[in-house]
């Protein structure tokens, strides 16, 4: 791994994303490394380009501060390419990072998973692991409150919101590409679903909150 390039990417991500954004991508990088190590420990390990994976993980949200999250994979790939070219990265590294970034937001159907680069699968999973926990439920409720600040939240409304969150959790878990990611997410996923089911069950007689 070219430590100099990785360090330059790290500092660039930290500068652009700020403290909170950089903390998140650092967690994604850690998840990528963990998943890659577990995959490499298999009897027939895939060939993983660790430098390309780590650089992609640091840069996958690089455009979100200035441009938001809508289709951010395209702008992030563009910004990543500009930065890496300025540091004389190889064409192979540039192409690999671009391919991974463009794929990292898309849940791949089963027929496409086999042909997708393993690094893209790992980054997708690493980026999603943090969203399969109870904290993500709190975040979703905060986002709903911010979007509809004047809406009365009755037990019926809250139950509908939680059912939607539960559906998204199930879709997200099913979209994970690698066995290590599913293994890591399984306990938190099932605990969160049990929590949501319990809350929804007791909301039928809830009063406005």
Neighbour-count burial of 138, counting CB atoms closer than 10 A to its CB (0-12 exposed, 13-18 middle, 19+ buried): exposed
- The answer to whether the CB of 129 falls within 8 A of the CB of 185 is yes
What would the two tokens of residue 137 be?
């439920």
How does residue 28 score in pLDDT terms, banded at 50, 70 and 90? very high
Which among 155, 157, 153, 163 has a CA at the least distance from the CA of 196?
Answer: 163
How does residue 209 score in pLDDT terms, banded at 50, 70 and 90? very low
Q: How far apart are CA 163 and CA 145, in angstroms?
A: 16
Q: What's the average model confidence in pLDDT over 124-141?
A: 79
pLDDT, one tens digit per residue, over 108-131 is: 666 666 777 899 999 999 998 877
Helix (H, G, I), strand (E, B) or coil at 28: helix
Between 197 and 97, where is the model more confident?
97
**Helix, strand, coil content of the chain in percent (nearest 5):** 75, 0, 25
Between 70 and 24, where is the model more confident?
24
Q: What's the average model confidence in pLDDT over 85-99?
A: 93
pTM of the predicted protein model: 0.80
DSSP class of 69:
S
Q: What's the average model confidence in pLDDT over 14-34?
A: 93
Between 196 and 114, where is the model more confident?
196
36-50, 57-71, 139-153 — most confident range: 36-50
| Long-range contacts of residues 67-73, Cβ cutoff 8 Å, at least 24 apart | 72/105, 73/101, 73/102, 73/103, 73/104, 73/105, 73/106
- The answer to whether the CB of 15 falls within 8 A of the CB of 58 is no
Q: What's the average model confidence in pLDDT over 47-56?
A: 95
What would the two tokens of residue 156 be?
């019926």
State residue 38's pLDDT score: 94
pLDDT, one tens digit per residue, over 176-188 is: 989 999 998 888 8
Checking if the pLDDT of 207 tops 50, the result is: no
Written as one string, the DSSP assignment of 158-175 is HHHHHHHHHHHHHHHHHH
What would the two tokens of residue 171 be?
């879709």
Element (H, E) at 60: none
In percent, the amount of the chain with pLDDT more than 70 equals 90
Rounded to the nearest 5 degrees, what angle is found at the Cα of 30, between the Cα atoms of 167 and 24?
Answer: 60
State residue 64's pLDDT score: 87
Rounded to the nearest 5 degrees, what angle is found at the Cα of 162, between the Cα atoms of 30 and 131?
Answer: 5
What domains can you pick out in the chain, each with its CATH number? Answer: 1-128 (1.10.3210.10), 130-209 (no CATH)
Mean pLDDT of the chain: 85
Q: What's the average model confidence in pLDDT over 66-76?
A: 83
């Amino acid at each position: 791994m070219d430590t100099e390039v990785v360090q330059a990417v790290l500092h660039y991500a930290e500068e652009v994303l700020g403290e909170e954004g950089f903390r998140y991508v650092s967690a994604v990088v850690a998840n990528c490394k963990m998943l890659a190590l577990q995959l490499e420990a298999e009897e027939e390990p895939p060939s993983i380009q660790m430098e390309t994976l780590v650089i992609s993980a640091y840069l996958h949200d690089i455009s979100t501060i200035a441009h938001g999250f809508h289709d951010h994979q395209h702008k992030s790939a563009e910004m990543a390419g500009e930065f890496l070219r300025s540091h004389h990265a190889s064409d192979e590294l540039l192409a690999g990072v671009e391919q991974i970034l463009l794929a990292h937001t898309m849940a791949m159907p089963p027929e496409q998973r086999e042909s997708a680069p393993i690094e893209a699968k790992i980054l997708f999973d690493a980026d999603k692991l943090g969203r399969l926990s109870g904290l993500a439920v709190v975040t979703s409720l905060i986002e709903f409150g911010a979007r509809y600040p004047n809406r009365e939240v009755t037990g019926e409304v809250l139950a509908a919101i939680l059912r939607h969150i539960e559906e998204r959790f199930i879709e997200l878990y099913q979209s994970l590409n690698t066995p290590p990611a599913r293994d890591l997410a399984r306990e938190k996923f099932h605990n969160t679903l049990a929590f949501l089911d319990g809350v929804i069950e007791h909301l039928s007689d809830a009063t406005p909150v």
